[in-house]
């Protein structure tokens, strides 16, 4: 089923879930199976519409990204220093992803493994919410992007490796990892948005170059619709998430995952 409404559905799912701690890849794998849209071209489409979600973050944080182009002494997270920290965050998952790419796509891209990742990720969120030092804002060591250090950036990058398991969620891994390492809840969420851009650009660019021969001009409308819908959905999701993150915990996302995980597992077994 490759009608345009499938592109709309998948675009909405990607945009709404990419930057929330619920796993966009997990939801896309589940939706793809339900829509009977699977296979190599479907996998590339799912990667392609991630570019729409990435673009939404670039638009929302344009000033921060432009600030990475020049060194501004009064703004620590700028220029070479800011780029260095984003590089450190992207490095662990990039290396591990290249080493395990074949294994991950062969054995982990299915609803059953996604259901386990959703459940385990939910437990991870609940544990971090209970025990992280930054659960209480007064105990947080790092409060804003300009408080970021290379050590914190690399530590968050190590936690981001958990997201290589589809269903775990890159957002959940980076946000919870940041909180465990002493970042304030709002900082952990904001940095997860920025840190997503380089690693997702690298991953999508690699996949697009590797599978470009699968595309034909007939695919253009389907891919374009998915891209645009993903962009709009991500804009709405990120702006809403930013508004809510300072007023709530991440527990509702964990409970949602715990509800969805067994439903997915029993539906496919």
User: 76-98, pLDDT tens digit by residue?
Assistant: 999 999 999 999 999 999 899 88
Least confident of 41-50, 120-129, 174-183: 41-50
Over residues 211-222, the mean pLDDT reads 77
Per-domain residue ranges for the chain? 4-267
User: 126-185, pLDDT tens digit by residue?
Assistant: 999 988 866 556 678 899 999 999 999 999 999 999 999 999 999 999 999 999 999 998
Average pLDDT, rounded, for the chain: 89
Three-state secondary structure string covering 22-65: CCHHHHHHHHHHHCCCCCHHHHHHHHHHHHHHHHHHHHHCHHHH
Indicate the pLDDT class of residue 225, thresholds 50, 70 and 90. Answer: very high
Q: What integer pLDDT is reported at residue 130 of this predicted model?
A: 87
Q: What integer pLDDT is reported at residue 133 of this predicted model?
A: 67
Nearest of 130, 156, 129 to residue 145 by alpha carbon: 156
Over residues 121-128, the mean pLDDT reads 96
Residue corresponding to tokens 């709002």 = 186
**Sign of the CA dihedral with 89 first, then 237, 34, and 207 last:** negative
Q: pTM to 2 decimals?
A: 0.90
* Spacing of C-alpha 204 from chain mean position: 13
pLDDT for 30 beyond 80: yes
């Amino acid at each position: 089923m490759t009608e345009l409404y499938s592109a709309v559905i998948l675009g909405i799912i990607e945009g709404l879930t990419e930057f929330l701690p619920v796993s966009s890849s997990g939801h896309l794998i589940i939706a793809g199976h339900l829509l009977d849209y699977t296979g190599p071209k479907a996998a590339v489409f799912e990667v392609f519409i991630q570019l729409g979600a990435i673009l939404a973050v670039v638009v929302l944080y344009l000033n921060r990204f432009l600030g990475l182009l020049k060194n501004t002494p009064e703004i620590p997270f700028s220029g070479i220093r800011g780029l260095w920290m984003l590089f450190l965050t992207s490095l662990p998952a990039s290396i591990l992803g290249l080493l395990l790419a074949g294994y991950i796509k062969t054995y982990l891209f299915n609803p059953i493994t996604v259901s386990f990742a959703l459940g385990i990720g939910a437990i991870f969120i609940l544990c971090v919410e209970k025990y992280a030092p930054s659960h209480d804002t007064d105990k947080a060591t790092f409060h804003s992007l300009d408080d970021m250090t290379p050590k914190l950036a690399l530590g968050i990058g190590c936690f981001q490796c958990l997201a290589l398991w589809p269903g775990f969620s890159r957002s959940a891994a980076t946000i919870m990892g940041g909180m465990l390492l002493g970042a304030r809840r709002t900082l952990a969420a904001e940095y997860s948005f920025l840190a997503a851009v380089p690693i997702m650009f690298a991953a999508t660019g690699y996949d697009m170059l590797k599978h470009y021969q699968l595309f034909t001009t007939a695919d253009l409308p389907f891919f374009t619709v998915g891209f645009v819908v993903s962009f709009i959905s991500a804009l709405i999701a990120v702006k809403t998430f930013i508004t809510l993150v300072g007023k709530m915990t991440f527990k509702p996302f964990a409970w949602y995952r715990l509800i969805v995980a067994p439903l997915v597992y029993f539906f496919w077994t």
